[in-house]
Structure 1
Amino acid sequence: MQYFINFIRTPLPGKGPEVLAAVKASLDATGRPGNLTAPISVPNPTQNGPSFVSLIGGFQNLDEVDTMIESSFNNEEVQNRLAAIDALCHRTSYVLSENLSGPVERPDGYQPNLISRTFFNAKLGSRNDLLAALLDVREKVGSKVKPLISRPIAGNAGIIRVTNMASTLQEMEDTRKEALAHLASAGVLELLSQSPWRSVGKIVHRVQA
């Protein structure tokens, strides 16, 4: 998976269950691998309600992304389905990202239930150094599933996202503590323009490839 798209939706008050059901159906209709997470802990509790994050993956190159976008815009049924979901939301945003760390490999039979996403913002001119340090830390962390390191193709050019998966909150916390020690020794903190921010969500739906 070289590229993936996140859909971030903040439901209107009282519309959460409807949004969840509609997004599940929309994910199933894509025919692509993906998942949907509901928030457990958000980075900014003063924002306008919790957001659901869905992911569509399996894009090996940007040409495949182009093809999917073109087919979606030219398909009235797809556009109506997305518009119906948006009507239930306070805010909807799309984020196309590039996978910088290679395929995500899971042990046989291992099924993660949780996803954490941590965003690192590099100082001006330090993005490549930050990426190299995060890739090095990735290899040292002893988690069951190695973190996915990615970057959004739009927005702040210094942002790098580290996505971790775990089966329990305790497993996720153990991985976080181990990663913190490696991040400090790798000098990551000196490469940041601000403190990282992190969200934790529960996988409530998944679509296999």
Structure 2
Amino acid sequence: MAVSGIGRRGLAWLVDFALVIGLACLLAVLTFHRIGALLTDVPSLAAKGGWGLLTSHGDYVGTGEKVGISLWHSAVSDVQQGFAALVVCTFLYQFLCIAFGRRTLGKLMLGLQVLPAEVGALGKGRAAARALVTTVADVALISVALAALVRGSFVVAIFCWALAIAGFWANALPVLFPGRRSLADRLARTVVAATALPTWQDVQQSAQQTLQQSAAYERLRR
């Protein structure tokens, strides 16, 4: 078993993190769409404002303030839900890819795979542990910091941002030491091993085999 090099692991991480960034952009668009729909829901706003005005004995200033605060809390809740969805999706991506294929898309492209550090099967437990640590180090702490910043909790945001930086480097720096195992690998008892990268001939041969199998299936179907 050949332990992977730092360069290949770094490139694989960049590919996977690019997917996370793409997902974050998609969730941001959906979140802004939800907030826009909330602000343009005129019947709902009129009903809230009208009912508040009737029960406030004419205090239209206080009623408007309450409606504004309610909209603000709803918008913040939508943003927090977007960050939560990003964390959950990132964990599921890492877990499912490693548990059922031993590699994420980045590792597949760079010829890497996750294997147990000792004799035995990888198992879903190790895959879940590795995915959890990776998600916390790469996405979760940053998401909490940004969610706290949106809510106005600046002290909590700064603290979580510091934790996010420390968590990222705590997970990444152990790769520089003998064994080339990140914190996620050490806690999950796994190792990232290098495999041979597919050549152009391998790709052509695989495509030809696929076409031959499809043709054979079509002949049998007829």
Alignment TM-score > 0.5, same fold: no
Say which structure, 1 or 2, has more relative contact order (CA 8 Å, 6+ apart): 1
Larger Rg belongs to: 2
More helix by share: 2
**What TM-score, normalized to structure 2?**
0.21
More strand by share: 1
**What TM-score, normalized to structure 1?**
0.21
